[in-house]
Amino acid sequence: MESNSALQEIKDRLVKAKSVTVLTGAGISADSGVPTFRGADGLWKNYRAEELASPEAFERDPKLVWEWYNWRRELIATKSPNAAHIALVELEKQIDRFWLITQNVDGLHPAAGSKKLSEIHGNIWKVRCTDCGRVEGNHDVPIAILPHCTTCRGLLRPHIVWFGESLDSEDLRNCHEALRSCDLFLIIGTSGTVYPAASFGSVAKEQGAFVAELNLDPTPNSGLVDVTVQGRAKDLVPELLK
């Protein structure tokens, strides 16, 4: 299907949809200039993201891990939500049963105004106490290293789901409820390689939803979805509202 006709098909489905669920990945943030922090973009002082984003790395050298996250926070602090983020906020306002699932930790969706949202990999602007478990927002740039809990003085860690950790059970429940109940599922700017999010398209499709993918390049999901449109999120998502 040609891009224009595929886009029109999604727009027609949006008009009729009673329930819409959206999944976003690094592609939507890339349009705001946020690096992926994986591969070449993720190399910092000769460390790869996979070497630092783990409970074992934090236990071994919390100062090093916090220095890396502070570097990331300083980069993200200079970025703003783009047209795709804004368009999804408008979509949320127009559709009563709407849920947004994001794999991104940069906080750009809530910054844009998204409310019905699951940040399944966490948020870099939140911290969690390793002693009492308290989660709170922290936008300090730079952040004090090492940061400590204002309640119990325990060591704080980034409120991020690291390699080897499970997703929050409440987030998973919300996601699966949204996937089961939607009649339109939009996959925007995600490579389709990180689980469990990579399987969400199949879950929604099995429940009878129309599944559409908008991404710069083909993904492992491209052959499974109903329509796929190649392009940048900041260009394609606003088109859906026209």
Residues identified as active-site: 121
Query: Among candidates 1, 139, 151, 148, which has minimal Cα distance to 70?
Result: 139
For residue 227, CA distances in Å to 9, 141, 186, 215, 220 come to 8, 41, 10, 11, 13
What is the widest separation between alpha-carbon atoms in the chain? 58
Produce one character per residue of 12-23: b if its CB has 16 or more CB atoms within 10 Å, e if not.
Answer: ebbeebebbbbb
CA–CA distance, 72 with 85 (Å, rounded to integer) = 20
Contacts of residue 9, defined as CB under 8 A and 6 or more positions apart, other chains included, come to 1, 212, 227
Contact 27, 215 (CB under 8 A): yes
For the beta sheet containing 210-215, the strands, ordered from the edge strand earlier in sequence to the opposite edge, are: 117-119, 97-102, 19-24, 184-188, 210-215, 227-230
